[in-house]
Chains A and B, each alone.
Chain A
């Protein structure tokens, strides 16, 4: 790990495995709920929002 010019926090490095595991469960269940809601017609796909989604388009 080069160019480390600030303290990333040791605890913060160690904890990320736990944070990631919890995040995985949350993302999985949200996705599942979303699919169920779309299936039942409660939520519509692709609603217009002020904020974009996380993807960045690659240039050709």
Chain B
């Protein structure tokens, strides 16, 4: 076994570790976890979770006295908690509770409840940490309870009061938002709610109080099975009914754009034709809003990533995925001007967006109606955006709104005195710069609009 390929995030749990073997992800299990693994396998527990699509399926590759090797199903693109929309986050939280309830009923218990144990595959939240299941010990409290609160419950309640954007706070707290901080950020009225009071405010107080018990003098706590199930079921009920207070700014974006229907259809026809010509199987739509244009593509895609800065747009996309039971779209929240960084120990535990997208290497990138935001709101020069788009996929379909487009005008006008600084924003400069990095395959004007579509190929 080549331990050098050990995944950077796989060091906390002594039960085993994850590594890549010629690009394939595999998991080693140590003897310390053999008993659990065998029981989970033989009792049909794993099988039941595979069938319900709640746990990532794996196959056993080899088995010796010193280690068992398993290979989990391949996930083409991992998305992290700080990239989930509100309802995706909810689903991940509910999945964790569901698994814990099922575990307890079958004599197991989740030994951790990290949000990073979950990602999304084929339109569903899926649990990916196969070794998280341990034996349940009668009358012991749930040791991952606090982790569940700081990874799931806290962030979700904060999102209710502060908007879905607050879910991004998780990118700064790899082991959950500190409970004291969650408590301090919630409005006073949450103290009057017995459920929120006990699960957050009182928990924060207790943690504070027992913080200084270095000698471990506090006697071991006990909790009946029924008691633990009460906690889990009440959390499930509460989270299931949790909703946001805010409304989407972009949710009905397509109703208020400057497109006339004809231009909108024309644009999607052009994209459709180009995708067909390219025979693309995978793509990323950067700034893809709720996935409208991806859904209009007739070619059957293997995998489409749709990202947008707006959590609500991603949420709307996710709701459609659920309704239509689509399995090929992975939606996620991403600010293209500040994409997710590499975080964790040695900055390697959770990969940056750029590393992940380079590995994913989509056949084509869609950048529709985003260049003016990047250039004018973000002050990103054409040179920089071209380099960015050229770094991870072979083809780029990019839409360029001309200077007299109403959105561009609006953005320019908001610059007031600084407006002259943006004289560079015109077709000539755009083409000259982008064609340094790309070859032009095709170019089409969208009639009845001030916009041009380009199909480019990386040089």
Contact = CB atoms under 8 A, between A and B. Distances in A.
Contacts of B234: 23, 26-27
B237 A27 contact: yes
Contact of A6 (B99, B137, B142, B147): B147
Contact of B195 (A14, A26, A54): A26
Contacts of B49: 56
B48 interface: yes
Contact of B101 (A6, A49, A52, A54): A54
A16 B142 contact: yes
B207 A16 contact: no
Interface string A46-58: 0001111011111
Interface string A1-25: 1111110111111111111111111
Interface of B is mostly: helix
A50 B319 contact: yes
Contact of A22 (B52, B102, B175, B198): B198
A26 to B, nearest CB: 6
Given A11-B206, A27-B234, A54-B236, A5 B194 contact: no
A13 B94 CA distance: 21
B97 interface: yes
Given A51-B90, A56-B49, A8 B144 contact: yes
Interface in B1-56: 12-15, 32-33, 44, 47-49, 51-52, 54
Contacts of B319: 50
A6 B194 contact: no
A9 B90 contact: no
A54 B233 contact: yes
B224 to A, nearest CB: 8
Contact of A3 (B15, B47, B48): B15
Nearest to A8: B143
A3 B14 contact: yes
A51 B195 contact: no
B40 to A, nearest CB: 14
Contact of A8 (B99, B146, B208, B211): B146
Contacts of B206: 11-12, 14-15
B407 to A, nearest CB: 33
Given A11-B206, A51-B94, A20 B218 contact: no
B205 to A, nearest CB: 8
B61 interface: no
B208 A11 contact: yes
B399 to A, nearest CB: 32
B228 A20 contact: yes
A10 B213 contact: yes
A30 interface: yes
A26 B87 contact: no
Given A1-B137, A5-B13, A19-B198, A27 B233 contact: yes
B134 A27 contact: no
Contact of A59 (B12, B33, B48, B146): B48
Given A3-B111, A14-B221, A23 B322 contact: no
A58 B52 CA distance: 9
Contacts of B111: 3-4
A49 B322 CA distance: 11
Interface string B130-145: 0000100100111111
Interface in B225-246: 227-228, 230-237, 240
Contacts of B67: none
Given A8-B147, A16-B221, A56 B195 contact: no
Contacts of A10: 207, 210-211, 213, 216, 218
A12 B198 contact: no
A58 to B, nearest CB: 6
A10 B87 CA distance: 31
B256 interface: no
Interface of B: 12-15, 32-33, 44, 47-49, 51-52, 54, 87, 90-91, 94, 97-99, 101-102, 111-112, 134, 137, 140-147, 149, 175, 179, 194-195, 198-199, 202-203, 205-211, 213, 216, 218, 220-224, 227-228, 230-237, 240, 319, 322
Interface of A: 1-6, 8-27, 30, 49-52, 54-59
28 contacts: A1-B140, A1-B143, A3-B134, A5-B13, A8-B147, A9-B179, A9-B210, A10-B207, A10-B216, A11-B146, A11-B203, A11-B205, A11-B208, A12-B146, A12-B203, A14-B210, A14-B218, A16-B141, A16-B227, A19-B202, A20-B223, A20-B224, A20-B228, A50-B322, A51-B240, A54-B94, A56-B98, A59-B51
Given A3-B15, A16-B228, A54-B233, 9 more contacts: A6-B12, A10-B211, A10-B213, A11-B203, A11-B209, A13-B220, A15-B203, A16-B141, A56-B98
